[in-house]
Amino acid sequence: MEGAATATASNGGMLYHEVQESKLCAVHCVNTVLQGPFFSEFDLAALASDLDLRERQMMLQAGGDFLPDPDESHNVSLDGDFSIQVLEKALEVWDLQVIPLDSPVAEPAQFDPELENAFICHLQNHWFCIRKVNGEWYNFNSLYAAPEHLSKFYLSAYLSSLKDSGWSIFLVRGNFPKECPIASSEGSNGFGQWLSPEDAERITKSCNSTRRTAPGSSQTLQFSDPYLQDGDGGILLDEDDEDLKAAIAASLMDSASAVKDIPADTPDENKNSGEENIRG
């Protein structure tokens, strides 16, 4: 039985995890949902620029005295923090839907979360995913050195603790990618790694004693300790992030230029397209 399960395991039974780089937790979150290095920070910046353009188109069409600042983005900050709309658009590429857990359509997941496949969690400026891989649940928080295994029983309690602590939780549904060629994806970025469940457990155990005995920590809410105690987890941009900031700034400028060339009276079909792509 175990051999049969191993034979059908996705990605050869390996887990894909990304460790925190700058403030790119949204990138890490999307890629661990997909279980592979499918998106870069520049891919998400391009999606953010497109969303900004659509939002400005809608504002121009609606008229009024207020128009958004063409140099300001509501979907990405210069240090790489992305909005939920950007994560939604990225996952839509793979025919995946992001649903607020407190919405009526997600009600079954509130009672039986173990029957789902993935959740996205957000608080302040941090994103991470909880994902079922090969029948087992893992916490793929990029602030952890390795994915942390969650029992099916603990999953429900864990999600409840997150919600009670102010986290926004989103359910992800759809057809998840079955495979990501490991050989071709190795070295695609500096923060992704493939781990066996055994290696992930070993790394987690070696880190848990330090994390759980830190001042102010607790076993129930240990996920919040590394991030919330310092507000931004002490994750700061350095000189290596200047390329990212420049790329995002360039995307914002391109978006602003495109808006200036758009007539105020544009076809209704463009307006409908913009409305469909912006969801809270």
Q: Looking at residue 135, which CATH number applies to its domain?
A: 3.90.70.40
For 128, half-sphere exposure in the C-beta direction (CA atoms, 13 angstrom radius) is 25
| More confidently predicted of 120 and 60 | 120
State mean pLDDT over 239-252: 50
Question: What's the confidence (pLDDT) of residue 50?
Answer: 83
SS3 call for 58: helix
Altogether, the residues listed in the chain come to a count of: 280
> Does residue 280 lie within any of the structural domains?
no
pLDDT exceeds 80 at position 200: yes
Task: Return the DSSP state at 97.
Answer: E
Of 205, 240, 251, 227, the residue nearest 75 (C-alpha) = 251
Q: CA-to-CA distance for 168 and 158, rounded, in angstroms?
A: 13
Answer yes or no: is 1 within a domain: no
Look-up: residue for tokens 């661990």? Answer: 32
Cα–chain center distance at 171: 12
Q: What is the pLDDT of residues 43-100, one digit of tens each?
A: 998 998 888 777 667 766 666 555 555 556 666 665 667 889 999 999 999 999 999 9
Helix (H) or strand (E) holding 126: strand 126-133
Q: What is the mean pLDDT of the chain?
A: 75
Structure-token pair, residue 74: 């509501």
Mean pLDDT value of segment 181-196: 70
pLDDT at residue 117 greater than cutoff 70: yes
Examine the pLDDT at 108 and tell me if it is beyond 50.
Answer: yes
Q: How confident is the model at residue 208 (pLDDT cuts 50, 70, 90)?
A: confident
% of the chain with per-residue pLDDT over 70: 58
Query: Rounded CA gap, 216 and 225, in Å?
Result: 8
pLDDT at 74: 65
Q: What pLDDT was estimated at residue 12?
A: 86
**Which amino acid is located at 85 in the chain?**
Q
Q: What is the mean pLDDT of residues 6-34?
A: 86
Residue located via tokens 């290696």: 199
Distance CA 235, CA 239 (A): 13
Backbone dihedral angles phi then psi of residue 90, each to the nearest 5 degrees: -65, -45
Task: Identify the H or E element spanning 16.
Answer: strand 15-18
For range 185-211, the mean pLDDT: 81
Angle formed by the axes of helices 242-260 and 41-62, nearest 10°: 30
At 175, is the pLDDT very low, low, confident or very high (cuts 50, 70, 90)?
A: very high
pLDDT at 61 (0 to 100): 65
DSSP 8-state class, residue 135 = T
Give the bridge partners for 127, in sequence order. Answer: 122
φ/ψ of residue 252, rounded to 5: -65, -40
Helix (H) or strand (E) holding 25: helix 25-34
Greater confidence, 125 or 245?
125
pLDDT value at position 245?
Answer: 52
- Mean of the pLDDT values across residues 136-142? 98
As annotated, the active-site residues are 25, 126, 141
* C-alpha span between 122 and 99 (Å, rounded): 13
Please report whether residue 5 resides in a domain: no
Beta carbons of 170 and 102 less than 8 angstroms apart: no
Residue 159, pLDDT > 80, answer: yes
Q: What angle do CA 239, 245, 247 make, to 5 degrees?
A: 125
Residue 237 in this model has a pLDDT that exceeds 60: no
- Report which of 155, 152, 161, 148 is spatially closest to residue 224, judged by C-alpha positions: 161
Domains: count for the chain: 1
Q: Answer yes or no: is 257 within a domain.
A: yes
pLDDT of residue 263: 43
Q: What is the pLDDT of residue 162?
A: 97
d(CA 183, CA 195) in angstroms, rounded, equals 13
Angle among Cα 44, 46, 51 to the nearest 5 degrees reads: 95
Has residue 143 got a pLDDT over 70? yes
Which residue range is the domain that position 31 belongs to?
13-179+188-273
Both tokens of 29, joined, read: 């979150």
Interval 257-266: pLDDT, tens: 443 443 444 3
In a domain, 145, yes or no: yes
Partners of 133 in the β-ladder? 136
Residue 33 is assigned to a structural domain of this protein: yes
Tell me what pLDDT residue 140 has: 98
